[in-house]
A and B are shown apart, each in its own frame.
Chain A
Amino acid sequence: MHIVIVGLSHNTAPVEIREKLAFAPTAMERPLRQMLELPTIAEGLIVSTCNRVELCATTKEPEAAMVALRRFLAEYHEIAPEEINDNLYDYQGEDAIRHLFRVASSLDSMVLGEPQILGQIKTAYGYAAEFKTAGLILNRFLHKAFSVAKRVRTETGIASNAVSVSFAAVELARKIFDRLDNKGVMIIGAGEMCELAARHFVANGISKVLVTNRTFERAEKMAAEFQGKAVHFDSFIEHLAEVDIIMTSTGAPNFILGKRQMEEVIKRRKNRSMFLIDIAVPRDIDPKVNDIDNVYLYDVDDLQGVVQANLKERKKEASKAEAIIEQEIGQFHQWLGNLEVKPTVIALRHKLEEIRRQELEKTFGNLKDLSSKQRKSIEAMAGAIVNKILHQPTAVLKRAQNDTSGEDYVDAVRTLFDLPTPADDDKEIKPLDDTDQE
C-alpha cells in the first residue's frame, strides 16, 4: 500500500485559485465519501485551510490514484482539470510522508513555525475518523505526523521568537525587564497597532496602564478597556517616570518627546530602564533619546528589523527540524513496508518453521533410541501440522491483498505472531511505540 498526496499551497497557487479549491469545513462528509468512491483509493483525508488544500490517500496504484485525485479536486469544484494542473503538486511514498510531516511541523507554512496548521490537520483528521475514511494506515500516519510536529516544536526553536511587530515588542520588553507583572505601560495616542501591542502587554501580565490622548474622552475610553487610568495630554510627561514602557502613535507632526525631557525622566527613575516604542509616522520621539543610558527606543522600522532577525533565527532552527523529520520518515516507512503481504507470509512461515525445528530438537534429545524411520515420521508430522496451521491464514492474507482490508490482516498477523522485519531486510525491527498517540 502506498501513501499519495495531491494538493496545492501558497507556494504553488495564488489566492484566487486556492479559494476556488477550498473545501467548506462544515461539509466535509460529501467530499470525503466521494473521494473514497474513486476506484483506486483505499483511505482518504482532506486538509483544507486558507493557505492549502491537501488530498491524502492510500492506494495500491499510486500513479493512477494521483491522476484520479487531480481530476477529483477539479471536478468537485467544477473547474476544468487543465486549468489547475500547474498549481498542483503530488507526492508518493517517502516524499508524501515527508510532505505531511513538514506541513504538520509548520515547515511549509507561509509564516514559518506558525502553530495553527497542526490544529487544522487535527481537525481534518477528526473528520476522516468520524466518517471512517481513515483506516489503519492513515490513522497511524496522522498520529505519527502529530508526534513529529510535537517533537519539532519542543526540540527546535522553530516557533520560539515573535514574528509579528506587536508581539516582538513584548519579547523585547522581556529581554529588558525579565518580569512584566510589576511593570507599567503608557499609551500615547490611539493607533490600532498601539492598541494591539497594549493588548499583548496586558495579556503578558502588565499591571498598570496609563492612557493619554489629545481628546481626553478617547483616552478615557481606551483606559476603561484596559482597566487603566486616563491622563491629560498636557501633563503626560509628569507621569512618564511612573511607567517602564511607553508606546506612542500620535499624529503629531513634530517630536512630542525630546532627549532633555527623557533625561529628566530617567533621572527621576534613578536610572531604572525604560523601553520606548514609537509606532507613529512621522515619529513622536526624538531618535537621540536612544543615546541615553538605560533607555531603549524602537521605532516601526526597528521592530520590523527584529521580526526579520527572528524569522532568520527560525530558518536556522528549521534545518534541525528537517533532520528530525528525516529520522522519523525512516521509522514510519519501515512500518509501512512491514504491511506488505508477501514478506509477512514468509516471516510467518519462517517463524513456525523455527518453532518446529526447536521442538523437534528438544523431542529427539529426550528420545535417543528412535529408529531413523520413526524420526522421519515424527518430522513429517510436525511439518504437516505447521502447513495445516499456515494454510488458512496464508489464504486469507493472499485474498485480502486484493482488497482494502489487507493491511488490517497483515498488522494483526504481525502483532499476534510477533513477527520481525521481512527476511530480506537485515535491519533489526524497532518496536512500534504507541506512546505517540495524542
Chain B
Amino acid sequence: MTTNILLFKITLLVYFATTILYLVGVISRRDHFRQNAVYLLIGGFILHCITLVVRGFATGTIPVTSLHESLSFFAWALVGTYLLFYLRYRTVMLGAFITPLALVLMIIGTSTSTQAPALNPMLDSWWFPVHVTLAFLGHAVFSIAAAAGVMYLLQERMLKSKKFSGLFYRLPSLDTLDSMNYKCLTFGFPLMTMGIISGAIWANSAWGGYWRWDPKETWALITWFLYAALLHGRLTIGWRGRRAAIFAIIGFGFLLFTFFGVNLFLSGEHSFRNFTGQ
C-alpha cells in the first residue's frame, strides 16, 4: 500500500509545482514558463496513471471505493481531459485554471483516509467500474466547461468594459472559449447520461431496483436536467456566449455539491461507508 501512497504524494507535488509554474508564468508574463508548465503537467499525469494502476492492483478493483480514491481519480480524469483539450485547442491558459483545481482535489485527498477497505461483495459487479468511470469523465469534462466559462466571463468583461489587464493578451478568443463550452457539453452530457443509466443498471443488479431516490441520485438528476436545458438552449434558441458560460459554472457548482455535499451532509447509498457495508 505504501508504494501507491508515495506515488500519490509525488504526483501531488508535481501538480503543486505545475501550479506554481503557471502562477509565475501568468504574473511575470513569461510565455515559456506556462509552456513548461504544460510539459510538467504531462509528466504529472503519467505519474498519476502509474499511481492509479499500482493502487488498482493493490486493492484488486478500480480505485474509487473511498473518498480518497475518488478524489484522486477525479483529479486524474480532470488533468487527462485537459491534456486532450490541449492537443486539440493548444490552450495553455486553460491549464492555469484546471491544474489548481486538480491540486485542490488532491490536497483534500491527503486529508482523507487512505485505507482501502474491501468492497461490499453485494456491490462488486462489472457495472461498478463502468458507472464510476463514465461519471467521473463526465465530471471532468464539465469541469473544463466551467473553467472555460470563467475564462469567457473574464475575457467578455474586459472586451465590454474596454479595460484590459495583462490577462487579456493571454486568454483565447471568445469564440474559442464558447466552442470549448459546446464541445464539453456534447461530450459531457452523453457521458453523464450513460453514467446515470449504468448506475441504474448496477443498482438493479445490487439492490433489485433501478432508482431509489437517494440524495445523490436526486442531485445528479437535477444536475442532469440543468445540463440538458443548456444543451437544448444551445441547439435550438442560440444560447451561447455569456449565458452558456454562466450555465456551465452553475452546473459545475451542482456537480461539486453532488460529489461532496451529498457525501458530507446527506446520507444515502452513495456514501462511501455504505460501499464497504460497514
Residues of A within 8 A of B (CB): 157, 160-161, 172, 174-179, 269-273, 290, 293-294, 296, 298, 302, 305-306, 309, 313, 316-317, 320
CA A157 to CA B160, docked complex, whole Å: 24
Across chains A and B, which 5 residue pairs bring their CB atoms closest together, nearest first? A270-B238, A178-B173, A178-B175, A271-B238, A178-B176
Question: B240 touching A175 by the CB < 8 A rule?
Answer: no
Counting CB contacts under 8 A, is B199 at the interface? Answer: no
Question: A161 touching B169 by the CB < 8 A rule?
Answer: yes
Q: Is the interface of B mostly helix, strand, loop or mixed?
A: helix
Q: Show 16 A/B contacts (Cβ-Cβ < 8 Å), sorted by A.
A: A175-B155, A176-B174, A177-B173, A178-B172, A178-B174, A178-B175, A271-B239, A271-B240, A271-B241, A272-B238, A272-B240, A298-B162, A302-B162, A313-B166, A313-B169, A316-B166
A271-B240, A293-B241, A294-B240 known; A176 vs B159 contact (CB < 8 Å): yes
Instruction: Pick from A273, A293, A316: contact of B29, CB below 8 A.
Output: A316
CA A230 to CA B173, docked complex, whole Å: 30
Query: Smallest CB–CB gap between B160 and chain A, Å?
Result: 7
Question: A157 touching B169 by the CB < 8 A rule?
Answer: yes
Counting CB contacts under 8 A, is B225 at the interface? Answer: no
Question: A317 touching B29 by the CB < 8 A rule?
Answer: yes
CA A313 to CA B160, docked complex, whole Å: 19
Beyond known contacts A172-B159, A176-B173, A317-B29: 7 more, CB 8 A cutoff: A157-B169, A178-B176, A269-B238, A271-B241, A294-B241, A306-B162, A316-B29
CA A298 to CA B243, docked complex, whole Å: 22
Q: Within 8 Å CB of A293, what residues of B?
A: 241-243
Interface Cβ pair total, 8 Å cutoff? 60
Q: Mark B9-34, 1 if CB is under 8 A from A, else 0.
A: 00000000000000000000101000
Q: Restricting to B199-254, which residues have a CB under 8 Å from any CB of A?
A: 237-243
CA A305 to CA B159, docked complex, whole Å: 12
CA A270 to CA B236, docked complex, whole Å: 9
Question: B241 touching A177 by the CB < 8 A rule?
Answer: no
Q: Within 8 Å CB of A175, what residues of B?
A: 155, 159, 168, 173-174
CA A298 to CA B166, docked complex, whole Å: 20
CA A417 to CA B238, docked complex, whole Å: 75
Question: B164 touching A309 by the CB < 8 A rule?
Answer: yes
Closest to B155 in A: A175
CA A273 to CA B173, docked complex, whole Å: 11
Q: Within 8 Å CB of B240, what residues of A?
A: 270-272, 294
A305-B162, A306-B164, A313-B166 known; A294 vs B242 contact (CB < 8 Å): yes
Q: Within 8 Å CB of A270, what residues of B?
A: 237-238, 240
Closest to A313 in B: B169
CA A177 to CA B173, docked complex, whole Å: 6
Query: Smallest CB–CB gap between A297 and chain B, Å?
Result: 9
A270-B238, A273-B241, A306-B164 known; A177 vs B29 contact (CB < 8 Å): no
CA A176 to CA B179, docked complex, whole Å: 12
Question: A176 touching B175 by the CB < 8 A rule?
Answer: yes
Closest to A290 in B: B160
Closest to B237 in A: A270
Closest to B236 in A: A270
Question: A177 touching B175 by the CB < 8 A rule?
Answer: yes
Q: Within 8 Å CB of B174, what residues of A?
A: 175-178, 273
Closest to A171 in B: B169
Q: Restricting to B149-163, which residues have a CB under 8 Å from any CB of A?
A: 155, 159-160, 162
Q: Within 8 Å CB of A320, what residues of B?
A: 29
A271-B239, A272-B238, A294-B240 known; A174 vs B162 contact (CB < 8 Å): no
CA A341 to CA B188, docked complex, whole Å: 73
A174-B173, A271-B239, A293-B242 known; A157 vs B162 contact (CB < 8 Å): no
CA A259 to CA B227, docked complex, whole Å: 31
Query: Smallest CB–CB gap between A30 and chain B, Å?
Result: 47
CA A217 to CA B239, docked complex, whole Å: 40
Closest to A309 in B: B164
Query: Smallest CB–CB gap between B7 and chain A, Å?
Result: 37
Q: Within 8 Å CB of B242, what residues of A?
A: 293-294
